[in-house]
Amino acid sequence: MKLFRIPMRGSVLLWAILTQLLLCRNGVFAGNGTKACKLGTESSSQRKVLERLEPLAHRNLSVEVTEEKEKYTYVFQLCGDAGGVPNAGVIQKTIDSQDKPTIIGSYTSTEVIGGSDWVMLLYHNGDKYDSHCNQEERKAMIMISCNKNTEAGNFEVILEDRDRLKDCFYLFELDSSAVCPPVQSQLSAGSIILIIGFCFVAVYLIGGFLYQRLIVGAKGMEQFPNYAFWVEVGNLSADGCDFVCRSKNREEAPAYRGVSADALDEEPEERDDHLLPM
């Protein structure tokens, strides 16, 4: 019996390729997930709105509903084949039936409108109605609203408006954080400067303390970085405060004019020569 061995480097390369293919299959590298959507009228503004929905790409979102004793499953995918049906953005499948899924809208005919915290996605060119709406093509409208607590919420059916002669549509709703406006920073320029200043002070104190302690071998208060300098600064600050803030003069004016303060401070010399014997 022969055993076939793959070299170590070859096996690592093989596993890397298989992992990359698997990630691409699951949509991890879905940087261009919205590129598959074809706009009816290509425009940069609509394309930017679509790019906001990038986190929702490559996901099948579904919901089950009961309509007139029939149970249906609606499946939605952003710029991808919903339920595996080619070119279908939204499909309708009858539960417990082998009938072909009905295409509600196709992502090859997309229209998108965006606001500050919402996006309206429209898929046109669905399957034609049998008897309603003058047998025009179906159309899906997906209202995606901001919800910061979920990346992709529950996909819900709001209504199917087919009691008219034309412009019938299916309306769906979805909550997602993808359409929420970016969070503005609450810090002012002054706050940022203060934070940076505190960081510098902390680095200075900690780094200086470690240097004085481990390298210089200082003990006690001398471990404080530049201790002599800060002591001098403190003394000078105290002298300046004393000079500026004190209102009382340090030296009292002499009581008599013409006599200096230095003369008053000198102790009088005792004259006891007359007590000596002659």
Looking at the fold, whether 125 and 233 belong to one and the same domain comes out as no
Q: In tens digits, what is the pLDDT along the chain, a chain of 278 residues?
A: 444 344 444 454 555 555 555 544 444 333 468 899 999 888 999 999 999 999 999 899 999 998 878 899 999 999 999 999 999 999 999 988 888 999 999 999 999 999 999 999 999 999 999 888 999 999 999 999 999 999 999 999 999 998 888 899 999 999 999 999 887 767 778 888 989 999 988 998 898 888 888 888 888 888 878 878 887 877 878 777 877 777 656 555 555 555 555 555 555 555 555 555 65
Residue 140 resides in a domain: yes
Number of folded domains that form the chain = 2
Looking at the fold, whether 205 and 237 belong to one and the same domain comes out as yes
Q: Which residues have CB under 8 Å from 45's CB, separation 6+?
A: none
Quote the domain boundaries for residue 215: 189-241
Looking at the fold, whether 119 and 196 belong to one and the same domain comes out as no
Looking at the fold, whether 120 and 170 belong to one and the same domain comes out as yes
Residue 184 resides in a domain: no
Q: Is the pTM of this model over 0.85?
A: no
Residue 34 resides in a domain: no
Containing 196, the helix (H) or strand (E) segment is: helix 189-210
At 100, which CATH number?
2.70.130.10
Looking at the fold, whether 108 and 167 belong to one and the same domain comes out as yes
Looking at the fold, whether 153 and 199 belong to one and the same domain comes out as no
3-state secondary structure of 59: coil
Could you give the CA distance from residue 39 to residue 109 in angstroms, rounded to a whole number? 6
Could you give the CA distance from residue 140 to residue 89 in angstroms, rounded to a whole number? 9
Looking at the fold, whether 135 and 222 belong to one and the same domain comes out as no
Looking at the fold, whether 96 and 204 belong to one and the same domain comes out as no
